[in-house]
Structure 1
Amino acid sequence: MRLHTMHTVARCAAAALLVAGSTGLAFAAAPAPFNIKIVALNDFHGNLAPPAGTTTAPSTTSPGTTVRVPTGGIAFLSTLLQQIKAENPQNAVVAAGDLIGASPLVSALFHDEPTIETLNLLGIDFASVGNHEFDKGTSELTRMQKGGCYKKGTVGVDTCIVDGGFNGANFKYLAANVVKDKTGETLFPAYKTKEFTSPDGKKAKVAFIGLVLEGTPSIVTPAGVAGMTFKDEADTVNALVPTLKAKGIEAIVVLIHQGGTTTGLYDDPACPGFTGDIKGIVNALDPAVDLVISGHTHQAYICSAKAKDGIKDIPVTSGGFYGRMLTDLDVTVDPKTKDITAVSAHNLLVVNDGSATVPPTEVPAGYVTLAKDPAEQNLIDTYNALAAPLANAKIGSISADLLRAKNAAGESPLGDVIADAQLAATAAPEFGAAKVAFMNPGGIRADLIYNNAYYTGEAAGDIAYGEAFNVQPFYNTLVTMTLSGAQIKAVLEQQFDNPAVGQTRMMEVSGGFAYTYDNAQPTGSKIVAGSIQINGVTVDPAASYRVTCNSFMATGGDNFTTFASGTNRLGGALDIDALSDYLKANSPVPPGPQNRITRIN
């Protein structure tokens, strides 16, 4: 069947018995439709502990207003999930990518093994691959699936540290549109199926197709995905539909790490202002697809979009990020056609006790704190104890909040500080003789908060290593290279129409570097001629300059391909070490001045 309605209960079955006139012939009752439960999460990013901040939610006591609810933490999330599964034995638990990568210290220090182990306890069935699963390359991603101890170097601590081994993910990663160039095979299976049984014994299989965004190579380290081709998402799904139908599979669910945005709250069925890349992908899908579970944008929504035929509405959901909520889907299956006939979707908050927020947050009236799953909490406690000496070590102090929020020109107070730290680490001749440092905004993952009592024994303004690591969790190294003045202008121009037309990725820049851009000019000509300066001296297009960026950018990450042409490269310290050293040397560190980039028009 083709009709899919959001927030709908399954329709009634056909009449139980029909009698044909005087012949007395009776026809058997049509098998009754039945419900299965699908529970989804996305963009978890190794947030085992409750993340900082709260979720905006409707007030239960003052209609039309909102409250702030403390959410997240895998021990709380597991309790909610197990409750749902216990009440719905016919279930599938799935994920839409970025379960690991850009993780807090307690997971990243152990190469994300803690996250995989806690997700195994959840009982996930299938997960699409996200772009952050590729942060350390395809070999390390394969280890996450198959298991084995980390063998590649000195970053972090030894792995397999808790029980002497790492068995990998019990769930199956799916990657239908990621193909190995040498063999033509997909990196992971394109899809997996799960069979469900109706109360009267009829069986139906649901296929789960996994996809990552086609643009992944432009937002991860290029070396990490070398030898892989990322194919169009909709074309990949549509090509699989005949294969699935030939196997008698009519129920098709897509797990895709790509998403959109909406102006509504996390569970608003009206889905106001729904837009983004995912909408165009769904518009190109075969109407045989029944449900799309998405991610990537860190937005939470319950929406829908037209299929390729322009008639069928395909439900599209996303559960936010960091484990703050689960997407709860009641799916009705017709055992006769084996197709999905209705989908009802809600995003459920994972309400924690508020003790991890800054300052601690009380749970508002009408919202109930979940209990902690003891098995999950015991595992987290084990890793927390191993990481605590490093996580709680004071490395410096700040004089006020250092935030990622940018001004109109594209600078943030924290971004300024990070760029200054990277310049300080590479300015000496023996470390590169850098004159300017550039930082990609996507590599800044958290704020530094002045009053943060989460870390043991921390006074106001103190910064612990764990806090700094949450800001820069990638273990990128610094690379100093030579660029011409013309190349510096070229890389600045690459900030615009990036990653898509009309969008910007404004790099953070170090002190002493300045430029002006005219936003009214066309892409490729926005940087005002003669405005680029280093220490007050105009940059000469023909002269050579030493510049620093991280190893992700140095190979062309985030579409800053000009950096890949830099010469006379010198590898340096880890980015987190540069930030730590800067905080130690300059405490208390004030917010950056946000006066290095000027925007006109």
Structure 2
Amino acid sequence: MPATSPSNPGRRRRTFRVLAAAAGLATAGALAAALPADAHDNGGHGHPRPARYQDVQLLSFNDLHGNLEPPSGSSGRVTELQADGTTKTIDAGGVEYLATHLREARKGHSYSITAAGGDMVGASPLISGLFHDEPTIEALNKLDLDVTSVGNHEFDEGAKELARLQNGGCHPTAGCYTDKKFKGADFPYLAANVLDEKTGKPILKPYTVWKKNGVKIGFIGVTLEGTPNIVSAEGVKGLKFQDEVETINKYAKVLDKQGVKSIVALIHEGGLPASGSYNYNCDSPGAGDGISGPIVDIAKNITPKVDALVTGHTHAAYVCTIPDPSGKPRMVTSAASFGRLYTDTTLTYDRFTGDIARTSVRSANRVVTRDVAKAADMTALISKWNTLAAPIGNRAIGYISADVNSTGTESPMGDLIADAQLAYGKELDPKTALALMNPGGVRAGLTYAAKGSEGDGVVTYAEGFTVQPFANTVNLQDFTGAQLIQVLKEQVSGSNAAAPKILQPSANLTYTLDLTKSGADRVVTDSIRLNGVAIDPAATYRVATNSFLAGGGDGFTTLGLGTNDVVGVDDLEALVRYLTANSSAAAPLAPPATNRITIVQ
């Protein structure tokens, strides 16, 4: 019978022939246990019987973010640790190559599952984002993805749009992009810890069970509990996000009662490895803890019923073991982001117990190199959507004299966006005093070197879309000077104390960030200047931000308290207008100097 998802009973997948029922396996006894993993005996009746232990291949990846084409710059490279301790970088990523690598990896593995850890869509390049990520869902269907958890970016356009990506149908406002109705995902999206506030039930399936020839492996999918803090208020309206550990433990019990003893958790939350190299040995002697971050405490508290964790969100690469509550090592993996890596894990399934023999679990990250043949079906898919996007994407919107990078505590790209929002804010209201941009909303930089047929220094709409793909609006709000000072302190205090989120300021706002201090004191209050003048705590200032920040996102609760709101155009349009007005082929725009924040270390 076909291996199908319970939510997609008609799904066309690789078909499997039933070799034996699970019942009756216990009679295999010691003979079966003595056989190698793929060996069979006939039980004296002339009918082959599966061996006790069956290796199941689990291929996984995470945080694709609609990167169908090979990502450029550092987003399209991985770092590899060499035997002599040096490192080298490798160009990686692109679904044409990912498809080839996954298909090659599956060869010789009759028991193979492909799973993902969320953020398959959202913050996507123009080829996918312009079409509300329908192209990415089509690509994932062609990749034979079996299951994925939701991530925070699956909620960028709200629960209704996520349901459309799962179930199909034309976009409610944009309509159908081709003459064929969008069919939706062939694989289930799992959202065990995302509840409808009215019903108290998960908005999508909490778990699914993969089955083949008596082998049963359950998958539970969750996103980080803090999703509302990093998604616009509109995107999570009417939803409640529950604790990751409590949710996984709850559904692990449910699966156990159903006789499913082998369980994998797909968790859109992650960690930070001690090395940036994808092949770093996280468990090597003398390596220290190997990994830090939220996933460590999560992994240590998830029930031992769960046999492996596929994680994401941090865009890091790691293959680590973290002890479960009983002290037994358990595999925890993440495959970086943008389709640059995939993780190849072997789960050894014990047919007698129905559980995974964890001592036999093996895992490694593999590079999606670009030295293999492109998958023809993916090339055709990309060509189709690029043809539809070309009239919009190829339009020149500005000119730059050098790369505008998006890296650093204060980045040239972040400063440029803030300047663009201030300029647009002044168009709406001349009283607009400054602009602030969240660093997480700066998804890429602008590259000077020509791409395709465009000339050096030309900025196209497609490139601008890659920088700002969220369709946030530019909002104006009034704040007191005291509130504005508090906003700057919230960059390094409260929920941002451990991992600061440094807002990118418009050119007229300057201050000192003293990293030798702790908490809110890292922002030197006496140094804050607007147009060279100290902030007056009692005065009122008109501030331009995007709608995400205006809703208090990223832990900036004070930005959610502004008054006298005015909502403008989307942030990308503000950037387009700024580049068009302030650059030309004869006078390209130079990258900002990033001298607005003085950093003391």
**Band the TM-score falls in, shorter-chain normalisation:** 0.7 to 0.9
Supply the distance in 1 between the matched residues of 2:512 and 2:394 (Cα, whole angstroms). Answer: 41
1:315 match: 331
Which residue type is aligned with residue 240 of structure 1? Y
CA distance in 2, matches of 1:118, 1:30: 34
- Deviation track 1:206-230 (CA, whole Å, cap 9, x = no partner) reads 1100010111111111221122221
1:493 aligns with 2:509: no
Shift of 1:598: 2.6
CA deviation string 1:28-66 (max 9, x = no partner): 999520111111110000001011134345488x85544
- Residues 316 and 462 of structure 1, relative CA distance in 2, 3 Å threshold: same
Looking at structure 2, the residues matched to 100 and 515 of structure 1 have their Cα atoms a distance apart, in angstroms, of 36
Relative to structure 1, is the Cα distance of residues 214 and 32 closer, same or farther in structure 2, using a 3 angstrom cutoff? same
Does the alignment pair 1:560 with 2:560?
no
Structure 1 pair 500/599, CA: closer, same or farther in 2 (3 Å)?
Answer: same
CA RMSD, Structure 1 to Structure 2 (Å): 2.2
Counterparts in 2 of 1:59 and 1:306: CA distance versus 1, 3 Å: closer
Cα offset, 1:554, TM superposition:
0.8
Percentage identity across aligned positions? 43
Match of 2:7? Answer: none
Q: Distance in 2 between matches of 1:84 and 1:241?
A: 29
Q: 2:432 aligns with which of 431, 434, 442?
A: 434
Q: Where does residue 369 of structure 2 map in the other structure? A: 351
Deviations 1:100-120 (A, max 9, x none): 000000101111111111111
Q: Does 1:482 align with 2:478?
A: yes
- The letter of the residue matching 2:298 is I
Asked if residue 32 in structure 1 is aligned to residue 52 in structure 2, the reply is yes
Unpaired stretches in structure 1, ≥5 consecutive residues? 1-12, 19-26, 153-157, 198-202, 353-368
**Counterpart in the other structure of 2:25:** none
Letter in 1 for 2:93: G
Once the 2 structures are TM-superposed, how far is the Cα of residue 503 of structure 1 from its aligned partner?
1.7
Superposed counterparts of 1:399-410, under 5 Å: 399-406=401-408, 410=409
Tell me if structure 2 keeps the 8 A contact 1:396–1:462: yes
Match of 2:590 in 1: 590
Match of 2:192 in 1: 176
Counterpart residue type for residue 262 of structure 2: A
Verify the 8 A CA contact 2:59 2:342 in the aligned structure 1.
yes
2:63–2:336: 8 Å Cα contact kept in structure 1?
yes
1:238 and 1:59, CA in 2 relative to 1: closer, same or farther beyond 3 A?
closer
Which shifted more, 226-235 or 591-600?
A: 591-600
Distance (whole Å) between structure 2 residues aligned to residue 380 and residue 340 of structure 1:
39
Answer whether contact 1:498 1:505 (CA < 8 A) is retained: no
Report what 1:127 is aligned to. 148
Aligned to 1:251: 262
Q: SS at the partner of 1:427?
A: helix
For the residues of structure 2 that align with 1:498 and 1:257, how far apart are their CA atoms? 23
- SS of the aligned residue for 1:150 comes to coil
Deviation at 1:473, TM superposition (A): 1.0
Shift of 1:151: 1.7
Q: Using a 3 Å threshold, how does the CA distance of structure 1 residues 17 and 259 change in structure 2: closer, same or farther?
A: closer
The superposition leaves residues 154-203 of structure 1 with CA deviations (integer Å, 9 ceiling, x where unpaired) of xxxx4421233111111101011111221110111111001132xxxxx1
Separation (CA, whole Å) in 1 of partners of 2:52 and 2:530:
73
Distance 1:523 1:56, change over 3 A: closer
Report the equivalent of 2:499.
503
CA distance in 2, matches of 1:526, 1:65: 35
Corresponding letter in the other structure for 1:259: G
Deviation string, structure 1 residues 280-338 (Cα, Å, up to 9, x no partner): 100111112100001111111111101112x2111001111101111111111000001
Q: 1:512 to 1:325 in 2, by over 3 A?
A: same
SS at match of 2:527: coil
Give 2:297's aligned residue.
280
Pairing 1:537-548 to 2, within 5 Å after superposition? 537-548=533-544
Give the partner amino acid of 1:52. Answer: S
How many positions carry a matched residue from both structures?
A: 547
Name the SS for the 2:127 alignment partner.
helix
Q: Report how far residue 528 of structure 1 moved.
A: 3.0
1:576 matched to 2:579? The reply is no
Q: Secondary structure at the match of 1:35?
A: strand
1:291–1:148 distance in 2 versus 1, CA, 3 Å: same
Residue 330 of structure 1 contacts residue 343 of structure 1 at CA under 8 Å; is this kept in 2? yes
Work out the CA distance in 2 between the residues paired with 1:51 and 1:110: 18
Give the Å deviation of 1:499: 4.3
> What does residue 358 of structure 1 align with?
none
2:441 to 421, 431, 443: 443
Equivalent residue runs for 1:52-67 within 5 Å? 52-53=72-73, 54-58=76-80, 64-67=85-88
Q: Is the 8 A contact 1:262 1:275 kept in 2?
A: yes
Any conservation in 1 of the 2:80–2:90 contact (CA below 8 Å)?
Answer: no
CA contact (8 A) 1:270 1:303 kept: yes
Shift of 1:512: 1.1
Contact 1:350 1:370 in 2 (8 A): no
Per-residue deviation at 1:253?
Answer: 0.3
- Which residue matches 1:304? 321
Q: What corresponds to 1:236 in structure 2?
A: 247
Q: Secondary structure at the match of 1:531?
A: strand
Q: Give the conservation status (yes or no) of the 8 Å contact 2:493–2:520.
A: no
Relative to structure 1, the CA distance from residue 397 to residue 302 in structure 2 (aligned partners, 3 Å threshold; closer, same or farther) is same
Residues in 1 aligned to 2:412 and 2:366: alpha-carbon distance in whole angstroms: 34
C-alpha distance in structure 1 between counterparts of 2:226 and 2:202, whole Å: 17
Would the aligned equivalents of 2:491 and 2:497 in 1 still touch at CA under 8 Å?
A: no
2:21: which partner in 1?
none
Does the aligned pair in 2 maintain the 1:432–1:480 contact within 8 Å? no
Task: Give the whole-Å Cα distance in 2 for the aligned partners of 1:470 and 1:444.
Answer: 9
Structure number with higher relative contact order (C-alpha < 8 Å, ≥ 6 residues apart): 1
Note the alpha carbon deviations across 1:427-464, whole angstroms, 9 max, x for none: 13x4463110000000001111221x32x322222211
Task: Using the TM superposition, name which of 463-472 and 505-514 deviates more.
Answer: 463-472
Structure 1 residues 431, 580: CA separation in 2 closer, same or farther (over 3 Å shift)?
same
| Helix, strand or coil at the partner of 1:185 | coil
User: Residue 485 of structure 2 aligns to which amino acid in structure 1?
Assistant: K
- How far is the alpha carbon of 1:389 from its aligned partner? 2.1
The superposition leaves residues 359-379 of structure 1 with CA deviations (integer Å, 9 ceiling, x where unpaired) of xxxxxxxxxx22111112111
Instruction: Work out the CA distance in 2 between the residues paired with 1:45 and 1:427.
Output: 33
Measure the CA separation in 2 of the matches of 1:32 and 1:485: 70
Going from structure 1 to structure 2, the CA distance change for 1:58 and 1:226 (only over 3 Å counts) comes to closer
Correspondence for 2:347: 331
Distance 1:404 1:115 in 2: 25
Aligned match of 1:23: none
Closer/same/farther in 2, CA of residues 498 and 390 from structure 1, 3 Å limit: farther
What is the rounded CA distance, in whole Å, between the counterparts of 2:273 and 2:422 in structure 1?
38
Output aligned runs, 1:256-275, within 5 Å. 256-264=267-275, 265-271=277-283, 272=287, 273-275=290-292
Partners of 1:563 and 1:492 in 2: CA distance? 10
Q: Which residue matches 2:385?
A: 383
For the residues of structure 1 that align with 2:507 and 2:81, how far apart are their CA atoms?
A: 45
What is residue 63 of structure 2 aligned with on the other side? 43
Aligned-partner Cα distance in 1 for 2:29–2:319: 30
Aligned partners of 1:269 and 1:525: how far apart in 2?
37
**Aligned with 2:180 (options 152, 164, 167):** 164
Q: Please, which moves more after superposition, 525-534 or 250-259?
A: 525-534
Asked if the contact 2:217–2:263 (Cα under 8 Å) also holds between the matched residues in 1, the reply is yes
What amino acid is aligned across from residue 191 of structure 1 in structure 2? Y
What amino acid sits opposite 1:219 in the alignment? Answer: I
Displacement after TM superposition at 1:392 (Å): 1.7
Q: Does the 8 A contact of 2:81 with 2:279 survive in 1?
A: no
| Cα distance, 1:79 vs structure 2 | 1.5
8 Å CA contact 1:110, 1:159 repeated in 2? no
Look up the equivalent residue of 1:93 and give its one-letter code.
Answer: T
User: Structure 2 unaligned runs (5+)?
Assistant: 1-27, 34-42
> 2:137 is paired with a residue of what secondary structure?
helix
